[in-house]
Amino acid sequence: MGKLRVSITGLVSAAILAGILQAASGGLLAAPPPKSCPGSNGCGCSTAYAPVLCGKQKCRYTNFCHAQCAGWTSQDCKDALN
């Protein structure tokens, strides 16, 4: 039972340390999503998956209809799968 407790404590400590290192790295390991991307709710677009990235912030939308509803043009967006 004592060895199990030591093993679990070691794993928990390693997980906490990994989280601290990721936070200290300034998010280099996983960038947060852009905060300035406009939403596209209530547009009546289909849910067909053809993702696009728009603008310098690389805002991601399910398809171009959603991006267009959010105010982007075809010149602002590119196919996210290519």
- Compute the chain's Rg from CA coordinates: 20
27 and 39 belong to one structural domain: no
Count of the separate structural domains present in the chain? 2
28 and 38 belong to one structural domain: no
24 and 58 belong to one structural domain: no
41 and 56 belong to one structural domain: yes
Higher pLDDT, 78 or 16: 78
4 and 41 belong to one structural domain: no
Q: How far apart are CA 36 and CA 50, in angstroms?
A: 22
pLDDT of 41 reads 82
In the predicted model, what is the mean pLDDT of the chain?
A: 78
20-54 pLDDT, tens digit per residue, is 555 555 544 445 555 689 988 888 999 999 999 99
Counting Cα atoms < 13 Å in the Cβ hemisphere of 72 gives 26
77 and 63 belong to one structural domain: yes
pLDDT above 70: residue 67: yes
Higher pLDDT, 49 or 8: 49
49-65 pLDDT, tens digit per residue, is 999 999 999 999 999 99
Token pair in block for residue 50: 């053809």
CB 54 within 8 A of CB 69: no
24 and 8 belong to one structural domain: yes
2 and 38 belong to one structural domain: no
pLDDT of 28 reads 47
Domain limits for position 28? 1-32
